Amino acid sequence: MARETPPIVAVALNPAIDRTLQVPGLEIGAHARGKLVSIQPAGKAVNVARLLGILGTPCILTGVVGEGDRDRFEQSFAKTPVHVEIFEGRGPTRENITLVDPKRGVETHIRDVGFELTADDLSRLSKKLAILAQKGSHVIFAGSLPPGMTADGFAKLIEVCNRKGVYLAVDSSGEGLAAIRRVRNLWLIKPNREELGEIAGRPVETEADIRAAVEPLLKSVEQIVVTLGADGAYLFCREGVWRARPHIENVEVVKTVGSGDALMAGFVQCHAAGKRPADCLKYGVAVGAAATFQLRAGMVNPYDVKACLEKVELEPVK
């Protein structure tokens, strides 16, 4: 009998509308002609949900979007296995702009900050999470926190889910990273090298630095994926340590924004299917690498994932 996949819930506290433009020969201060490549609902949790849907895994997307934008987010997931259960807040959805210069292979990202959630917004979301979070399900908090949300406030939302016995994953920044130090029994965090340094309170550069920063976190976090950009990622967990490297040609890379979200989607999908941690890392890195072939964040071609998986080198680290 096939193994039933536990529910996966992606939580968007500060979603966005992403605009991506190609601007050949972009120069700051000069007039430039660009071409709009895409405009779509986004943000890390939204990207993760979209990627899970593309990979054929049902997902629930919840969170708070700007006033009047709920239909827009729902329509963007039409004909996908992603079920959207989001609320509207009392401000505008933030808009991010990515400028891609194909001549130089350079990306410029301009990120808006978003609007502040009210006490009513947070109360509704907390109640929704208490319903969606089921024992054995996966809940993913991904993305930046909205203005005004503190580490303590974020930790309270996390605990609503933690009390239900879920596999809880956090991929955040700023105050979201500070919350990691306040919460116990997390299943997964996915910092990059710089974010790991923020959590540890000191620079992280070498493998020894990474190990030293990760060690105390393993007391409260079951699995830690440290991403290294084009160099792949480490996985630290109680079963051991592994490193995965994607051996792909740089000429294939179109856009790197969203590759970390793809890694998260692949890792969670693999874990929900009952795979061992090292296999989750390998598959996650393959999905992340395949995502760099796409101009639109939150997109991936399953055929590219299969091809990248064959090129990912996985090895234990002693």
d(CA 256, CA 258): 6
Domain range summary for the chain, segments of one domain joined by +:
1-149
Average pLDDT, the chain: 92
Please give the residue that has the higher pLDDT: either 183 or 44.
Answer: 44
| Range in 9-13, 49-53, 256-260 the model is least confident about | 256-260
pTM: 0.92
- To which CATH superfamily is domain 1-149 assigned? Ribokinase (3.40.1190.20)
User: Rounded distance, CA 96 to CA 213, Å?
Assistant: 32
With bands split at pLDDT 50, 70 and 90, how would you rate the model's confidence at 4?
A: low
Predicted confidence at residue 250, as pLDDT, reads 67
Residue position matching structure tokens 């350079």: 106
- CB–CB of 49/10 below 8 Å? yes
Angle 265-271-273 (CA atoms, 0-180°, nearest 5)?
Answer: 105
